Chain A
């Protein structure tokens, strides 16, 4: 079955460390997205990519980096410059047509700074 896989489900980071969250999809979707979710703040867009080797900043890109070397993969790195990284991170993908079916979401990664 096609889907989108995020790993790991739980991740712990020490102060000053970079960590990378994985997101892989086998839906042949063109676009992929990273969102951050904090209690009471809805979904906030970090980065998105509509095509391989290209990506755009979202609303809260500072302290994060991404790459899109393959259509199937869109990893997110949380750098040491992100001062408050503890949150729930969601990856999503979609096709880029008018008759969109909406997003398919992964099951999320919960990142905690220890």
Chain B
């Protein structure tokens, strides 16, 4: 079975500061990892995903994440926060061989950006 832990249910940063949202996973197979963003009263939108190959993954809106197998982590970063980044962010890991395509989600991290 796989699981995802997002450290910190709320993260607050100033505009222009570094954004770091933490995600650790457990998986019995090599994982496929995802970050999603959700704005209020909307569905989730894919930010980026790691499947195989390069461990540093670039996504939309200037976000990137690095897969670190030794640390079982997939933290999301952005060098400079913008007010429009305020949203809830979800990390997810793909299923095992018996449930390919089915994702397990973390509990989410709400990002607040202060002027």
Residues of A that sit less than 8 Å from B by CB: 6, 30-31, 33, 40-43, 48, 88, 90, 92, 94-103, 105-108, 110
Residue of A nearest to B45 (CB): A105
Contacts of A101 in B (CB 8 A): 49
Query: Contact between A97 and B103 (Cβ–Cβ < 8 Å)?
Result: no
Query: Known interface pairs A101-B49, A102-B46. Does A43 touch B102 (Cβ–Cβ under 8 Å)?
Result: no
Query: Contact between B41 and A103 (Cβ–Cβ < 8 Å)?
Result: no
Majority SS at the chain B contact face: loop
Majority SS at the chain A contact face: loop
Contacts of B45 in A (CB 8 A): 105
Question: How many A-B Cβ pairs are below 8 Å?
Answer: 66
The 20 listed contacts between A and B (C-beta, < 8 Å) are: A40-B9, A43-B108, A90-B44, A92-B43, A94-B103, A96-B100, A96-B102, A97-B101, A99-B32, A100-B101, A102-B34, A102-B49, A102-B94, A102-B103, A103-B44, A105-B36, A105-B44, A106-B43, A107-B43, A108-B42
Residue of A nearest to B46 (CB): A102
How many residues of chain B are within 8 Å of chain A by beta carbon? 25
Query: Known interface pairs A94-B102, A97-B100. Does A107 touch B42 (Cβ–Cβ under 8 Å)?
Result: yes
Residue of B nearest to A93 (CB): B101
- CA gap between A76 and B42 in the complex, in Å: 18
